[in-house]
Amino acid sequence: MSAAPLLLDALVALTRVFSAAGVRWYVFGAQAVVLYGQPRLTADLDVTVEGTPESVLRLLPALRQHGFEPRLEDAEGLLRRARVLLLIHRASGLPVDLVVAGPGLEDEFLAQRRLVELGGVAVPVISPEDLIVTKILAGRPKDLDDARGVLREQDGRLDIERSRRFLRLLEQALDRSDLVGVLDQLLER
Give the global pTM.
Answer: 0.91
* Chain centre to alpha carbon of residue 29: 5
Closest CA to 36 of 146, 186, 178: 146
Residue 1: is its pLDDT beyond 70?
no
Residues 97-124 pLDDT 10s: 999 998 888 899 999 999 998 888 899 9
Q: How confident is the model at residue 40 (pLDDT cuts 50, 70, 90)?
A: confident
Nearest to residue 93, comparing CAs of 30, 7, 4? 7
Predicted confidence band of residue 12 (pLDDT cuts 50, 70, 90)? very high
Q: Helix or strand or coil: residue 48? A: strand
Centre a 10 Å sphere on the Cβ of residue 118 and count the other Cβ atoms it contains: 17
Domain boundaries, the chain: 1-126, 127-189
Per-residue buried b or exposed e for 127-145, using 16+ beta carbons within 10 Å of the residue's own CB: bbbbbbbbbbbeeeeebbe
Q: Name 180's Cβ contacts closer than 8 Å, sequence gap at least 6.
A: 164, 167, 168, 171
CA dist 150 and 147 (Å) reads 5
Instruction: Give start and end residues of each alpha helix (H) in the chain.
Output: 3-21, 30-35, 53-65, 75-82, 105-112, 128-138, 141-153, 160-174, 179-188
Strand order in the sheet with 114-118: 68-70, 84-89, 94-100, 45-49, 25-28, 121-125, 114-118
**pLDDT tens-digit map of 58-77:** 999 999 999 999 999 999 99
Residues 129-171 have pLDDT tens digits of 999 999 999 999 999 999 999 999 998 899 999 999 999 999 9
Report which residue type is found at 31. Answer: Q
CATH number for the domain whose boundaries are 1-126: 3.30.460.40
Which residues share a beta bridge with 94? 89
pLDDT at 3 exceeding the cut of 50: no
